[in-house]
Chains A and B, each alone.
With several copies, the nearest count.
Chain A
Amino acid sequence: MSAGSALQRNKPIVDYAPEELLIVTVARLLEGIRHVAVGTASPIPGSAALLAQALAGGDMRVSILGSRESQVWSDTGVELFDCAGQGRIDAFFLGGGQIDGQANINLVGVGDYPHQKVRWAGSFGSAYLYFVVPRVILFREEHTRRVFVPKVDFISAPGTSAPNVYRPGGPWALVTGLCLFGFDRDKRRFRLESVHPGHTLEEVRDNTGFDFDIPDRVAETPAPAPGTLALIRDRVAVEVADAYPHFAKRVFGIGRETEAAI
């Protein structure tokens, strides 16, 4: 697949997968981070973290939960949360079955709780990590009004808190298949930062159920530079295949034959 390539202006024509654009976009949000942790179900954020680490010359710690080759913790449970509570995790990723304009996220379900018509897995660590990790990057590839709603049906974790609530962390940005939003914690609103190549502001507006701020001039999300793409394909793809073998096989065409860790 080579989406985006034909639509880029004033740039060298390089084929890249949409996943690669997202990887590069997310990696850019990790600049200056000392330690980023990534959940098991997050191959694009995971790849982005590994790319950011490669770009930082290795001077960044990446903890991919459930990776069997790079153990970071000596404990498979509590340590991640304690480590975050100590302020030793600078960035983390969260998604959401629903996300609203105040950056509230819903990982529980659609309809009236508890017996909802659609039930998802549950809130996992969101209601804690969203409070204590300084740079939480929301990532959701599907950009539709089904996901980006005016108000979530269930707040797994609130986007903002009252001033007296201890909250060193919170939403930093939202990356979707269409665009990149920043989050303004004071205004409690998203702000469109850039629209991905091949997509338009109108498309973003049509598919977003909440209001957001729009700058006077809407930028285009920069396409991956050739050197960055090479880094992804030569290095990140191999590393990411450990934690996300299916993803690595589908996107990069490499990997193992089995998904089960031994």
Chain B
Amino acid sequence: MTSQIIGSDLDDLVRRIPNGAKLAIPKTDCAGAMAATRALIRRKAQNLHLIVVPTSGLQADLLIGAGCVETVEGSGITMGEYGQAPCFGRFVREGRIKLKDSTCPAVYAGLQAAEKGIPFMPMRGLIGSDLAAYRDDYTIMSNPFADDDPIMAVRAIQPDVALFHTPLADRHGNVWVGRHKPLMLLAHASKETLATVEEVREDNLLDDPVYGPATIPSIYITAVAQAARGAWPLGLTGHYREDSEHFAEYMRLAATEGGMVDYLDRHVRRVGVAAE
């Protein structure tokens, strides 16, 4: 509910993500805020409880490999056609991260509960899955309108901070998300929301009859920072493509602990990388 700082200083932006925060990030194809993520690694974020909504790829793997993450909550970490997420796999094997495995609609359901200010959401499915067996925030309850109809209750998920990247915001702090409506859900459910964007417009997006319906009102937005190519090496729909050569390099280096150090030195920690 604070006013929006609109600038381009990513270090300033990620200072709003404290160590230990429940940090929510969107699906890879919703465009993760990768430039901000690298800034977060540079500021040596620690013990993050990372909520991937509902899955992630490079962004989560990078944060894990950089040692920023204590817990991963969500329904999948994958590098898609490039293969399994290397750091995630290694950290799991070595017992270096805690897991809260889920299924996509349960992640959404938890966020929707927070969005509505209710303590839980009922949800079909899940009963008999080991996902439920390992989660104390999923519990079976009875449908109060039927006899003998067990249904899963999924506890509300309220992230401390949501972080994502979109093509467009305006000077008032309204952020356009297009088809990626889970970003709206994320902003509604989270205590604070940080966005990076390609472009900041002067006119009020909310007042535009066509852009308005797909725009997150500034009331939910803590801060916006402009970051050109802020999703790189991910792609951004309508703007630029995924950098597949970079993905290949990542897969090669991140396969080992030593290679990962090399990757971080080369692409994250070095000053002046990718115009940051």
- Chain A positions within 8 Å of B, measured between CB atoms, are 34-35, 40-41, 61, 66, 68-79, 81-88, 107-109, 113-132, 154-158, 161-162, 164-166, 246, 258-262
Contacts and interface: CB of A to CB of B under 8 A. Distances in A.
A261 B80 CA distance: 13
Contact of B92 (A35, A74, A86, A115): A115
8 contacts: A40-B80, A71-B179, A76-B29, A81-B116, A132-B124, A155-B128, A161-B127, A262-B238
Contact of B239 (A107, A130, A157, A262): A262
Given A115-B95, A155-B130, A132 B181 contact: no
B92 A119 contact: yes
Contacts of B179: 71, 74-76
The CB with the most chain A CB atoms within 10 A, among B81, B95, B101, B180, is that of B101
A88 B115 CA distance: 11
The CB with the most chain A CB atoms within 10 A, among B99, B115, B118, B129, is that of B129
Interface of B: 1, 27, 29-30, 53-55, 74-78, 80-81, 84-85, 88-89, 92-95, 98-99, 101-106, 108, 112, 114-118, 123-132, 134, 148-151, 179-182, 184-185, 188-189, 204, 206-207, 212-217, 219-220, 235, 237-244
B181 A77 contact: yes
A6 B27 CA distance: 46
Contacts of B213: 74-75
Given A71-B206, A128-B104, A78 B181 contact: yes
Q: What is the interface of chain A mostly: helix, strand, loop, or mixed?
A: loop
Nearest to A71: B206
Contact of B244 (A71, A78, A109, A258): A258
B129 A109 contact: no
B117 A86 contact: yes
A194 to B, nearest CB: 30
Nearest to A63: B219
B171 to A, nearest CB: 15
Q: Which 4 A-B pairs have the closest CB atoms?
A: A85-B117, A122-B76, A77-B182, A260-B242
A123 B124 contact: no
Contacts of B103: 123-128, 156-157
Contacts of A115: 92-95
Contacts, number: 220
A108 B133 CA distance: 14
B242 A128 contact: no
A128 B134 contact: no
Contacts of B238: 262
A81 B116 CA distance: 8
A61 B2 CA distance: 11
Given A76-B180, A122-B77, A128-B124, 16 more contacts: A61-B219, A77-B53, A79-B181, A82-B116, A85-B117, A85-B118, A108-B130, A114-B99, A114-B101, A115-B92, A116-B92, A154-B130, A157-B103, A258-B244, A260-B242, A262-B235
Nearest to A105: B129
A158 B133 CA distance: 12
Contacts of A85: 105, 115-118, 124
B189 to A, nearest CB: 8
Contacts of B1: 34-35, 61, 88
A126 B219 CA distance: 23
Given A71-B206, A78-B108, A262 B130 contact: no
A126 B80 CA distance: 17
A81 B104 contact: yes
Nearest to B57: A121
A73 B239 CA distance: 21
A122 B78 contact: yes
A87 B148 CA distance: 22
B99 A74 contact: no
B72 to A, nearest CB: 9
A123 B54 CA distance: 10
Nearest to A120: B84
Nearest to B233: A260
A74 B117 contact: no
Contacts of A129: 125
B193 to A, nearest CB: 12
Nearest to B127: A165
Contacts of A120: 84
A79 B80 CA distance: 21
Contacts of B114: 86
A107 B145 CA distance: 28
A82 B244 contact: no
Contacts of B220: 88
Contact of B101 (A86, A88, A108): A108
Nearest to B235: A260
A35 B3 CA distance: 12
B184 A74 contact: yes
A261 B235 contact: yes
